[in-house]
Amino acid sequence: MVKKFFTSESVGMGHPDKVADRISDSILDACLAQDSESRVACETLVTTGMAVLAGEIRTNAQIDYQQIARDAIRRIGYVDEEFGMSADSCAVLVALGKQSPDIAQGVDASETKDVGAGDQGLMFGYACNATAEYMPLPIALAHRIINRLSEHRFNRTVGWLRPDAKSQVTVQFEDDKPVRIDAVVLSTQHNPDVSQEEIHDWVKREVILPSLPPELVDDALKFYINPTGQFVTGGPHGDAGLTGRKIIVDTYGGWARHGGGAFSGKDATKVDRSAAYMARYIAKNVVAAGLSDSCEVQLSYAIGVSDPVSVLVDLGATGRADPERVSDAVREIFPLTPSGIIKGLRLNRPIFERTSFGGHFGRSADGAYSWEQNLGVASDDYFTWEQTDKASELAQLLR
């Protein structure tokens, strides 16, 4: 029997890096809402009382970048100068340029060529049947804890919660099967007038334990709640934040591989984002088709070239089909060029702000949480890459 411990983390939308992600994706959405052919690569830096926007954008949209950034900060909950970041009073500096013509000539479609990949790179997608989310258990539990905490904050169950938060879950495995949860870490920003005893009792009772599978909880479970002893100073006031610095939180919590490219602030011609979504879509449908208990997909691209340089479908030790046949079926069923991915997953819509919190994977197709109404958008098929609508076709083709 092989015993091991594996840990994954999640962070709340008020974490400084996630503030930066949300601003970048809000700007992307604003461009796409007016011009679906927008080319966006927006990077954001946030620190005390300030957001800096940089990158390259080519669009026909008329955008008030400062207002978009302020609205995103407001939706997170930074509306009080006491937090060190207030949507109404913070400085927003704009240093956005235009997309390089050298890149544009390789990416743009013409009469003789399809849309090319916006950059070279390799992307991974993963899925497993260990959880209802088709995600590894440690990251699934870390996200559940953060999402439940966010629900309480937006519902104002208690009045002392502030936007910044981080969770971490360690699961004990034996022969790759989860047998118990060993430790949970949760740091939540709070008002200065609440005691740590009240925070500990409430967080353990109302947030952590309801988020965990009861069969994996025992008396030896260790809780680390606000382990520094206080978490009043947080968000961009406590630490600078940058777009794309939480790529492991965004994906599989370290359980599966990552190609290294960030997602937020990039339109779908950037295969760092779109191909990672397609790889997840493929892997999830492979598992849903019963071809394996887990699946990892790698795609790679060259800048300006439409077709992927390589496609790898890894079924692991639990595969129940010929990997070569599965790979052939994947190429037949799933579009793998940038334009095919964009059309197939409908990625030229303003859907990306919602991905900037709660993880890009492991969500329902509409991506909706009950507390998400502050976004002011209707539920729709936002997370199209989370659908399993190709599973029966895969199974039929490989029968």
Residue 191 near residue 229, CB atoms below 8 Å = no
Q: How far apart are CA 246 and CA 250, in angstroms?
A: 6
Give the three-class secondary structure for 232. coil
Q: What is the token pair recorded at 103?
A: 């890149």
Q: How far apart are CA 81 and CA 356, in angstroms?
A: 23
Q: How far apart are CA 9 and CA 142, in angstroms?
A: 6
Q: How far apart are CA 226 and CA 350, in angstroms?
A: 36
- Determine whether 296 is exposed, middle or buried from the number of CB atoms within 10 Å of its CB (0-12, 13-18, 19+): buried
Q: How far apart are CA 20 and CA 244, in angstroms?
A: 8
Backbone angles phi, psi at 317, to 5 degrees: -75, -15
Residue 124 near residue 271, CB atoms below 8 Å = no
Signed CA dihedral, 360, 363, 366, 370: sign only:
negative
Q: How many residues in the chain?
A: 399
Distance of CA 25 to the CA centre of its chain: 11
Instruction: Give the DSSP letter string of 8-61.
Output: EEEE-TTSHHHHHHHHHHHHHHHHHHH-TT-EEEEEEEEETTEEEEEEEEE-S-
What residues are annotated to the active site?
Answer: 15, 17-18, 43, 56, 166, 231, 239-240, 245-246, 266, 270, 272
Residue with tokens 């047998």: 179
State the first-to-last Cα distance of the chain, in angstroms, to the nearest integer: 35
In 171-270, where does DSSP find H-type helix? 196-203, 209-211, 235-238, 247-250
Q: How far apart are CA 116 and CA 113, in angstroms?
A: 8
Q: How far apart are CA 207 and CA 366, in angstroms?
A: 24
> Strand pairing of 177-190 and 222-225?
parallel
